[in-house]
Amino acid sequence: MTTSQLASPPTADRPLRRRGRAPIAALSFLACIAVSAWIVRRAGVDLEGVLGAVPPGAHLLCCVLAILQVTARGARVSTVARGLDLPVSLRTSIVAQLAGDALGAITPSRAGSDPAKLAVFSRAGVPLGSGGALLIGEMGLEATALVLLSALVLMFADGLRWVSSGLLLYAGIVSALGLVALAVVPKEHRTAPRWWNRVHLGEDRWTHLLEGAKGFRERSVDILALPRATLALATVWSFAHITARMLLLPVLAWAALPDPASVQPLLADLTLRPLFVHYATALLPPPGGAGGVEAAFAAVLGGTIAPASVAATLVWWRVYTFYLPTLAGMAVIGRATLSEEQP
């Protein structure tokens, strides 16, 4: 979140209207599909084999896990908002998560995610600075959960301790971004810098920026002063969403492997290895990763399960962790845009 995002209220559909980004996102998505197709072809599996590898019962369970994952993320934010007396219901928070998933998917390094969430909070009546503080709280809770999980991996996951590096890397990056956001917001009563006047942004926008920055600083400090029970509950929701994500691949592997009983000895690998892939590649510059996520998945899971199972689980894992949330978020944004255009 930058000072320019605090300077003017965002709109969730604004990034979609920047046509210059559409070809880049489309090419990146095509690269994702191409890498997946290459992995499937190298494994000697046809399209019918991939689509039919997972039975309806497993798909139903994966849908439940996907819903639980986004609901837990929403509950985490609404818990913090309730502690700050901000008007963010669970429904509003879930909508914000889906909008963030959609715009994060089509922007470099998921840069559109936070502005989309801010737009949803703003429409719910949350001041811009307070909405920014909610994002800082979300980052901090995610980083805290990942650090705790990394400690558990280091203590108990022999042979998979390297997984903690990806989790700690992501936690460090989001923590650093949060600290930078707190450091760069302008101080109260500070006059507009010369460059601001040179680009004719105007005193009204500067005043609006200062008001938002003040609320941002105050609410960010208030999060640290929340009752321990509130912070503990929000942390539990963080672990709930991470756990739901971790269980996706074991469910898919249980359905796709020729011998379902072989999943149990591989449970640690099937939960922690894809978690490493998710967080280690989360901030890749190209929208959607441009095939980097797929390549990392195949490399990290290769040798753990058969190539045909890697190909089938890769496709469906990406469906439930990337494509489905993106489509759901696009639907949410489209509905909001249509409702605004109606007289």
Q: How confident is the model at residue 78 (pLDDT cuts 50, 70, 90)?
A: very high
Token pair, residue 165, equals: 């590096």
Name residue 307's amino acid. P
| Cβ pair 250, 141 in contact under 8 A | no
Q: Write the DSSP symbol of residue 192.
A: P
- Matching residue, tokens 């400690």: 151
Rounded Cα distance, 323 and 339, in Å: 24
148: containing domain: 3-341
Q: What is the pLDDT of residues 278-308, one digit of tens each?
A: 998 888 888 888 888 999 999 998 888 888 8
Looking at residue 36, its pLDDT comes to 87
Residues 6+ apart with CB under 8 A from 47: 40
How far does CA 283 lie from the centroid of its chain?
Answer: 10
Q: What is the pLDDT of residues 220-242, one digit of tens each?
A: 888 888 999 999 999 999 999 99
Q: How confident is the model at residue 2 (pLDDT cuts 50, 70, 90)?
A: very low
Looking at residue 139, its pLDDT comes to 92
Q: How confident is the model at residue 245 (pLDDT cuts 50, 70, 90)?
A: very high
Name the most confidently modeled range: 106-110, 128-132, 271-275.
Answer: 271-275
Neighbours of 14 (CB within 10 A): 13
Q: Write the DSSP symbol of residue 191.
A: P
Mean pLDDT across the stretch 55-73? 94
Q: How confident is the model at residue 150 (pLDDT cuts 50, 70, 90)?
A: very high
On the 0-12 / 13-18 / 19+ scale of CB atoms within 10 A, 214 is middle
Domain count within the chain: 1
The kind and range of the H/E element at 147 are helix 128-156
